A = this chain, B = another copy of it.
Amino acid sequence: MKPRITLKKIAKEFSVSISTVSKALKGSHEISEEVRERIQAYANFYNYKPNNLALQLRNQKTSVIGVIIPEIVHHFFSTVIDGIEQYANQKGYNVMVCVSNESYEKEVLNFSLLANGSVDGLIVSVARETQENKIYKHFEALTKDEFPLVLFDRIINEIECDKVVIDDVGGAFKATNHLMDVGAKRIALITTEDYVSVGSLRKEGYLKALTTRGVEIDENLIYKLNDKNDLPSQIEKVFDVPNPPDGILAVNEIYAANALIIAKEKGLSIPEDIAIIGFTSGLISAFTSPPLTCVEQHGFLMGNQAAELLINRIENSAPLEFKKEVISTNLKIRKSTSLAGLKN
């Protein structure tokens, strides 16, 4: 790559000082019209653009927001990024995305990479491994220095910073109620291990809905899946029991769609024999047969809010109170729970 043109080189070319060139290019009236125009023409011809690194160093401001997410091949997270991008761009910021791959080590690495001058602030969704081992030193190092930080979706209660979450409890509550409304008596929950914060919150909503209506909790109806193993074989167990469920709430789209397919393979009709709802953010639910009712998560809005919180914090020198925004969910009702088709 050819060396880029700099103020210094232009200055040498015209035998003037660097400051003269800088001022000339900014159209300063301190510089005579003749010199100004000659310098501008020259710079323009050689396509001069100020070096960003130098500017950022001088201004002590990068106008870049760092985002660290567990995965990028994930409809929900990419939707959130989209929301962040949109708000950030409009405010003159750019976005730098790094992936932790659910790994604690890589998360820490990304922290040290981004939080050392490269970005003005950080938006993070915590890696699974970090949630599991509960080591939060890298977060504490940031909050200690009041580094602008926003946590979203997978958050850590112990860390003091701005947060934005979806109403997981409420979403699961609504969904479970809806299943009962369409007649389901035995509702299975297909969820993740408890250390995944959203998983346990959704379980909470599920339990709350049941107890509110006086339905007794059956621990055997709660299935905790492990993403490292084969999903279908884990989900089959939901059906291969003496008294199988007539309703399913799955904490994500993949679980729900797999459950739907397996149920059909087992000869069950949906929603006649069993109604299914999944939390979602993707496109799968609309294309299954029947299409899946789902809890919509509004990732874009979440990204928007996270970016807004972060930029407010970056730009306000006076310390603000830490906010926790809760994004409410809504039920998108499709045929997998349609009332008309109920058997009982």
Question: Taking the nearest CB of chain B, how far is it from the CB of A57, in angstroms?
Answer: 5
Contact A53 B62, CB 8 Å, known A82-B72, A283-B254: yes
Instruction: Judge if A289 is at the interface, Cβ distance under 8 Å.
Output: yes
Number of A residues, CB within 8 Å of B: 51
Best-surrounded residue of A50, A52, A74 (most CB of chain B within 10 A): A52
CA A146 – CA B85 in complex, angstroms?
29
A116: chain B residues within 8 A (beta carbon): 49-52
Instruction: Judge if A340 is at the interface, Cβ distance under 8 Å.
Output: no
Indicate if the CB atoms of B49 and A53 lie closer than 8 Å.
Answer: no
Indicate if the CB atoms of B287 and A257 lie closer than 8 Å.
Answer: yes
CA A75 – CA B141 in complex, angstroms?
35
Name A1's contact: one of B1, B53, B141, B146 (CB within 8 Å): B146
Indicate if the CB atoms of A85 and B99 lie closer than 8 Å.
Answer: yes
Question: Taking the nearest CB of chain B, how far is it from the CB of A58, in angstroms?
Answer: 9
Instruction: Judge if A326 is at the interface, Cβ distance under 8 Å.
Output: no
Counted per complex, copies of this chain come to: 2
Those of A123-148 within 8 Å (CB) of chain B: 141, 145-148
Per-residue B-contact encoding for A281-323, CB less than 8 Å = 1, 0 else: 0111001110000000000000000000000000000000000
Contact A95 B94, CB 8 Å, known A53-B62, A53-B118: no
CA A97 – CA B99 in complex, angstroms?
11
Those of A36-89 within 8 Å (CB) of chain B: 47, 49-54, 56-57, 62, 72-75, 78-79, 81-82, 85, 89
CA A278 – CA B288 in complex, angstroms?
16
Instruction: Judge if A327 is at the interface, Cβ distance under 8 Å.
Output: no
Those of A89-110 within 8 Å (CB) of chain B: 89, 94-99, 106
Indicate if the CB atoms of B54 and A4 lie closer than 8 Å.
Answer: no
Question: Taking the nearest CB of chain B, how far is it from the CB of A56, in angstroms?
Answer: 5
CA A50 – CA B49 in complex, angstroms?
26
Instruction: Judge if A113 is at the interface, Cβ distance under 8 Å.
Output: yes
Indicate if the CB atoms of B283 and A4 lie closer than 8 Å.
Answer: no
Question: Taking the nearest CB of chain B, how far is it from the CB of A122, in angstroms?
Answer: 11
A82: chain B residues within 8 A (beta carbon): 72-73, 99
Instruction: Judge if A226 is at the interface, Cβ distance under 8 Å.
Output: no
Name A147's contact: one of B1, B74, B99, B282 (CB within 8 Å): B1
Those of A242-289 within 8 Å (CB) of chain B: 254, 257, 260-261, 264, 282-284, 287-289
Query: Known pairs A54-B117, A85-B98, A95-B98. 12 more at Cβ < 8 A?
Result: A1-B145, A1-B148, A50-B116, A72-B81, A75-B75, A94-B98, A94-B113, A260-B287, A282-B283, A283-B284, A287-B287, A287-B288
Which are the 5 A-B pairs with shortest beta-carbon distances? A289-B289, A51-B117, A97-B97, A53-B117, A96-B96
> Could you list some 20 contacts between A and B, CB below 8 A?
A1-B145, A49-B116, A50-B116, A51-B57, A53-B53, A53-B56, A53-B57, A53-B62, A53-B117, A54-B57, A57-B57, A73-B79, A85-B98, A89-B106, A95-B97, A95-B98, A261-B287, A282-B283, A283-B283, A283-B284
